[in-house]
Chains A and B, each alone.
Chain A
Amino acid sequence: MKNKAHILVVDDAPLIRGLLSQVLEKYGYDVSTAENGQQAIECFIAQHPDLILMDADMPVLDGVKACAQLRKLPEAKHLPIVMVTSFAEKNWVDGAYLAGATDYVTKPVNWDVLRNRIRYILQAKQAEEALFQEKEKAQVTLASIEDGVITTDVKGAIDYLNPVAMKLTGWSTRRAKGNSLKEVFSLTHEQTQEPIIFPIQDCLTAGKAIVLSQGILLNNHHTQTQFAIESSAAPIRDRQGQVIGSVLVFHDVTENRKMTQALAYKATHDALTRLYNLQEFKNRLNHLFNLKPIPSGALFYMDLDQFKVVNDTCGHEAGDQLLRDVATILKGQIEEYYTYSQFTLARLGGDEFGLLLEQCSISDALQLGNILCAAIEKFRFYWQERGRQAVFSIGVSIGLVPIDPPLADPKQLLTQADAACYVAKNAGRNQVHLYQKQDEQQLDRDFQWISVLNDNLEQSKGLFLHHQPILALHIQTTEDQRYEILLRMDNHQGQLVPPSAFLSAAARYNLTSTLDLWTIRQLFTWLKNIPQFPSQLKLHINLNDASITDFSFVSTLLSLLTASPIPCQQLCFEFSELAVLTHFTDSQTLMLSLKQHGCQLALENFGAGLASFTHLKKLPIDFLKIDASLISNLLNDNLDSATVEAMNRLAHLMNLKTIADGVKNPAILEQLRNISLDYGQGDGLGKIQPLEEIVLQQWGNLVTQ
């Protein structure tokens, strides 16, 4: 409303019009006048006064009829119209009100009455407008907000739904009005899918706010959809504080809940295999230990055998697929054979899996372990890439620990399972090993080995170089004499032990490349002290798996070779077939670098693994050293004999020299000569001796010559 209210005075009597105008102006209003009802309507349309003061009985169009016509105009719907008449008779008063008059005053007008009535009516109009604006604002707000809002009366019957509430519930306000809340606001428990009734009566009777937010789904029966919601209700009170209804506010958290669920899933699951992850596995194990009494059960620690071969020969994509396949097999087998209680299968990292069985006897757990081993052994992994197809068979080593009071803590239980798995792997892979107290002793032994190894490396003592001759089998020559350099270690108990005793520990603690470097440095130091080292002597040096992929080792080795005390042509580096297959690209790169320095190369343990001639073609090697397991069976196993013969023939076709490893006796030597192998090595041909013996032997030879 404007600062000065505008009043239209309508009267056919000029003196009255003038008098009313003067009085009202004195009261502070803007005044305009009209002579009859028709003029009044025209003035209203043109000027939009805030109030009309109108005589009832006028010529042309009387005030009552004019009032009725004005009320038909939308903009005059709420206009205060005060009738002024000398007629106090009921028919005029009733007629005026029926026509929509706001109020009336009688003539002669009492100025005090007129002043107060107009002021009151205008204030009421102002209040009504303010109220209307507030209501408009509230309705626009309710229509605009993203929350659903439902109001009920004191009995819980629906009064109003805002657009969001209508959309989510599928009910319009018109249809819902008067219905009970439970009918319109139909809820279901997210987990149990049981119906839930919103406790609106608690809100209405206790007058307290209610929040309902966890795991609630709102059913839209119209669209047959469900929304995850969070909701709250509060009582609506009148001026006296009495509850007159309630307001229910809710919002769609479907996306948020999905995101939360996705995050929770991500936090507890392994992205690759969709199994539980290590953290969740530990959480569940801890939870089990918090139960009273702790239920019996079993813990599996599973490590895949030969996974690295697949991963490194066919790439990470193949490795990932293999892990997914294994996860599917394990889960499928467990679900099929272990149906009577809960289990938790998790990928613990790399190619390691964990399984937690609850309410399970140890015999059932063992049986399941064997089923899993059999399933994995039976499984064949096919991989095709760029027209090349490969088939792999793998295994799984399982360490099994019973969960049976008195118990260790969860952490120790995992360590025990890991130790049992370690034993299973060392015992020949693809088997279940039930944890024994001494299993951890093996881990302890490894730890002790590492302690001794570290001591020896730091103090440059306790490690020694030995050698074993590699003899040509068909020619007696002094021009090509070969020796394999071998490492021996003092076990701090006065015994020298071979690397097989401590290599698994060294590998576990990433010390193999350190040992390889120590061997090479030690050999070079020794060679520097020997003037005129005979050129016909060739020295074979082993490289371990880890060294091949160790950039620091490779870089140091190549640097050492540039300052080699003897020509690199006298050095032959031996790579195991498994190491090459596991790290084919790195092996190939290192081999080429060594070749550039003039070094010779050998592939050892050939036949212990895949015996892949396909790979041989791609490697710049000079020697193929056939694994001792084949050579030692040469006389007893026709298949092994035929295999060795075939390998020898194929190697010769590829211009490779062959070395038989593990020659134990003259009979095997004779057989090797028969099938034309080029070299032999083993206790039957020459014992392992300290490195210094080479010099004595050579000097002796020289004296003899």
Chain B
Amino acid sequence: METETRSNDETLLSCRSLTREYTRGADGWLSRVRSTDRPSVTALDGVSLAVDRGEVVGIAGPSGSGKSTLLHLLAGLDEPSDGTIELAGTDVTALSGRGRTRLRLDHVGVVFQRFYLLPSLSARGNVAVPLIQRGRSKRARRDRAESLLETVGLGDRAAHSPDELSGGEQQRVAIARALVTDPDVVLADEPTGELDSATGERVLELLTEVADDRAVVLASHDDRALRRADRVLHLRDGQIIDDG
């Protein structure tokens, strides 16, 4: 089932007829040379959606329904087999890998279930990582990172290494990192997946707070998370079965 795309001037992120097929065994050089047909798996099948500024959209569905695939495509981390993605007025599918990376740096903040903090850096250093790629001065990076750590309630933990932080604190650091470039879109993939309920509530509160002037897409099978969304899209077998 393909849902209708609601697009207007406030739309920051949209996709149309998004399809992603994976071909089994297609990664090896030998399999690329061989011309035999290989079985393929459709992870996403003709998905369309639009997310407006200030909107929190939840993506619900069981494991394997295509939630993460959709998020990765929207972030430009993967390429669709078919369909288009528009992010902040740019056709993502027309960009090269380098162009998508650049677009991510400028417009997208990503939050993962497993935080992915760099153990060699402090909380402050982790938040500031994207600013290095932007060529920001050390002082500017430090000020911006500390300001965001204050925002997420970790002002006093800036110098701590990830090993010294709890899971909830690490996820808040990851959220601060996602916001450090002031992105238009925040994509969160199971952000509460490894947190207890109280900590998860705090993280979700943070994510919905940041949606004031940006679009937030939240993939989760946690009902608490989905209840905070303005609307929830239900995925099953790579298709949207309900656009609520």
**A and B: bona fide binding partners:** no
Which of A's residues lie within 8 Å of B, judged by CB? none
Which of B's residues lie within 8 Å of A, judged by CB? none
